[in-house]
């Protein structure tokens, strides 16, 4: 407990005015009344001034008669010089202040016991709602937990939040801009590094006091706890708030819904973009982390090799990726690493970057999927979904590359968005004719047409890929035309056939996977 907190309680409970005071933020662990002896650290002494008084103790409440004030002057001067706190009161107030401080110390003890009860609940596995509910009952006021980005992640629900501003805040899931601005002002003037010391935030639009404490993990700010003072507070509330920070940190760590809080604020912002959480304060958070979409971005999905599933190996891979993309945002989601970086060459990565990434495949990367160009923050979520579809398509097709560009798989992404049972409606009938003919004759007309179309109708390139003579290719193409009646000179029909082959490839891949699963 701080001396300033003791004085706050004295002023709250009485109309006492000090004769003189010099208060530093010293921690007080015990109060010693009228007791001589060796000085103890972290103690507050109650002293009735007397002629014999000579010992200068750690921190002192002096009680004096009017005529004793001058006698006390040298002692006070010495205490001030040595950086010790003191308050001077009229002697007549000794009993009144004694009772207030005695009750305060008793409340502190009760607060410590209460925190031990909450710790026991956490050890039993109670969740955030239960812990906040218990704290609300003890503090007689609602509590709200927000993350470092001012998003509301939990609140106690036993006492109605009648503050109109905070009622709206809870409904939309974010703090008001005024509250955020005031917190930043306080931190700029008097920061509390790695400290959960309670502090008050004053907002003109919100009529009630807001007492806040910070939750830290390994020196990193992860959340705030806000006590909304609707019904007044007792003497132990500050101690409970301060000690609850560590307890709530453990609750949040154990929760599967709040794991991202323990990433950095930068990583937490990136995760929110991936999940499509573009709240009211997203622009403020983007500016705070200098993430601007004035230039196009790319989203990369990195699949780590199976032997890199432990945390230390993943951390090493992150460092390697940071070497390739030093200014990028990197986070982990569902076993994959995601990178948000600058576009380099027309919606792609440059050759030099591709080479660096290909080298990583030897050091723990299975493959990397690269999104289309992203020009707005809300497009990050769309790109996240699209590259997930690219990964799905690549697995169905059984492809084994180290780099996959969305542009090359757009048709597959589109198909996977359509009900699979309707795919056959969009397949050109020529494909079934060629499949049936090849099945009876052990021919390769299906493969010939597919290769011819993929080679943009270039005869020489197609013949090389099929390892046949151009005359043999001409014969096969004529046979295909005879059997199917298609026109290879028609641009529309060639496009229709290309799409049909893509649909057929995807459908065949899915069918093959089902057969394997059925067999196993």
Contact 89, 62 (CB under 8 A): yes
Instruction: Report which DSSP code applies to 310.
Output: S
Q: Is the same domain home to 189 and 253?
A: yes
Distance from C-alpha of 423 to C-alpha of 511, rounded to nearest angstrom: 13
Structural domain includes residue 121: no
Q: Whole domain around residue 244: which residue ranges?
A: 126-260
Q: Which CATH number belongs to the domain containing residue 213 in this structure?
A: 3.30.450.40
Structural domain includes residue 328: yes
Global confidence as pTM: 0.54
pLDDT, average across residues 191-203? 77
Domain count, the chain: 4
Q: What is the pLDDT of residues 420-465, one digit of tens each?
A: 777 778 889 999 999 999 998 888 999 999 999 999 999 999 999 9
Q: Is the same domain home to 229 and 289?
A: no
Please say which residue of 260, 293, 316 terminates a domain.
260
Tokens of 507: 């459908």
Contact 90, 15 (CB under 8 A): no
Distance from C-alpha of 385 to C-alpha of 258, rounded to nearest angstrom: 22
Structural domain includes residue 364: yes
Q: Which is nearest to 244 in space by CA: 211, 267, 287, 203?
A: 211
Tokens of 347: 């919606």
Q: Is the same domain home to 232 and 273?
A: no
Kindly state the helix (H) or strand (E) to which residue 230 belongs, with its residue range: none
Q: Is the same domain home to 270 and 411?
A: yes
Farthest CA pair distance, the chain: 124
Q: Which CATH number belongs to the domain containing residue 385 in this structure?
A: 3.30.70
Please say which residue of 260, 294, 318 terminates a domain.
260
End-to-end CA distance of the chain: 66
Please say which residue of 378, 395, 416 terminates a domain.
416
Instruction: Report which DSSP code applies to 200.
Output: E
Three-state SS string across 167-192, please? HHHHHHCECCHHHHHHHHHHHHHCCC
pLDDT, average across residues 42-65? 76
Q: Is the same domain home to 282 and 412?
A: yes
pLDDT band at 477 (very low <50, low <70, confident <90, very high): very high
Tokens of 496: 């229709």
Whether residue 359 has pLDDT greater than 50:
yes
Q: Is the same domain home to 511 and 382?
A: no
Q: What is the pLDDT of residue 449?
A: 94
Structural domain includes residue 460: yes
For the CA atoms of 270, 300, 323, 293, the dihedral, rounded to the nearest 10 degrees, stands at -50
Q: What is the pLDDT of residues 393-406, one digit of tens each?
A: 988 888 888 899 99
Contact 370, 346 (CB under 8 A): no
Q: Is the same domain home to 391 and 457?
A: no
Most confident among 184-198, 288-302, 410-424, 461-475 (mean pLDDT): 461-475
Of residues 303 and 26, the one with the higher pLDDT is: 303
Q: Range with the lowest mean pLDDT among 129-133, 234-238, 318-322, 339-343?
A: 234-238
Residue whose tokens read 């910070």: 214
Using DSSP, state whether 308 is helix, strand or coil: helix
């Amino acid at each position: 407990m701080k001396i300033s907190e003791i004085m706050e309680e004295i002023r709250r409970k009485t109309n006492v005015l000090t004769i003189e005071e010099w208060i530093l933020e010293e921690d007080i662990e015990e109060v010693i009344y009228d007791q001589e002896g060796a000085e103890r650290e972290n103690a507050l002494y109650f002293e009735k001034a007397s002629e014999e008084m000579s010992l200068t103790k750690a921190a002192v409440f002096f009680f004096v008669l009017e005529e004793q004030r001058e006698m006390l002057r040298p002692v006070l001067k010495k205490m001030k010089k040595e950086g010790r706190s003191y308050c001077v009161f009229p002697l007549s107030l000794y009993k009144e202040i004694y009772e207030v401080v005695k009750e305060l110390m008793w409340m502190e003890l009760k607060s410590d016991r209460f925190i031990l009860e909450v710790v026991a609940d956490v050890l039993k596995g109670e969740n955030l709602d239960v812990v906040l509910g218990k704290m609300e009952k003890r503090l007689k006021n609602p509590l709200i937990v927000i993350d470092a980005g001012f998003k509301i992640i939990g609140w106690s629900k036993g006492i109605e939040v009648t503050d109109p501003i905070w009622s709206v805040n809870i409904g939309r899931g974010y703090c008001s801009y005024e509250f955020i601005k005031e917190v930043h002002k306080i931190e700029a003037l008097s920061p509390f590094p790695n400290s959960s010391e309670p502090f008050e935030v004053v907002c003109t639009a919100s009529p009630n006091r807001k007492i806040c404490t910070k939750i830290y993990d390994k020196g990193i700010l992860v959340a705030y706890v806000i006590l909304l003072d609707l019904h007044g507070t007792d003497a132990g509330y500050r101690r409970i708030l301060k000690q609850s920070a560590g307890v709530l940190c453990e609750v949040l760590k154990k929760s599967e819904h709040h794991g991202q809080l323990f990433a950095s604020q930068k990583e937490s912002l990136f995760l929110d973009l991936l999940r499509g959480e573009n709240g009211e304060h997203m622009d403020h958070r983007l500016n705070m982390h200098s993430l601007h979409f004035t230039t196009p971005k790319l989203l990369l999905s990195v699949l780590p090799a199976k032997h890199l599933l432990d945390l230390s190996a993943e951390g090493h891979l992150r460092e390697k990726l940071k070497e390739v993309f030093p200014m990028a945002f990197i986070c982990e989601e569902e076993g994959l690493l995601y990178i948000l970086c600058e576009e380099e060459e027309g919606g792609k990565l440059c050759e030099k970057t591709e080479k660096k990434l290909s080298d990583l495949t030897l050091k723990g990367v299975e493959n990397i999927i690269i999104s289309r160009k992203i020009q707005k923050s809300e497009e990050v979520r769309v790109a996240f979904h699209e590259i997930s579809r690219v990964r799905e398509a690549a697995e169905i097709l059984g492809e084994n590359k180290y780099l996959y560009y969305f542009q090359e798989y757009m048709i597959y992404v589109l198909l996977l968005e359509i009900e699979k049972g309707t795919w056959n409606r969009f397949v050109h009938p020529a494909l079934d004719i060629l499949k049936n003919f090849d099945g009876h004759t052990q021919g390769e007309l299906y493969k010939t047409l597919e290769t011819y179309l993929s080679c943009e109708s270039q005869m020489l390139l197609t013949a090389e890929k099929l390892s046949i003579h151009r005359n043999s290719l001409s014969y096969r193409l004529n046979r295909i035309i005879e059997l199917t009646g298609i026109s290879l000179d028609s641009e529309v029909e060639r496009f229709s056939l290309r799409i049909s082959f893509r649909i057929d490839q995807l459908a065949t891949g899915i069918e093959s996977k089902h057969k394997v699963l059925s067999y196993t």
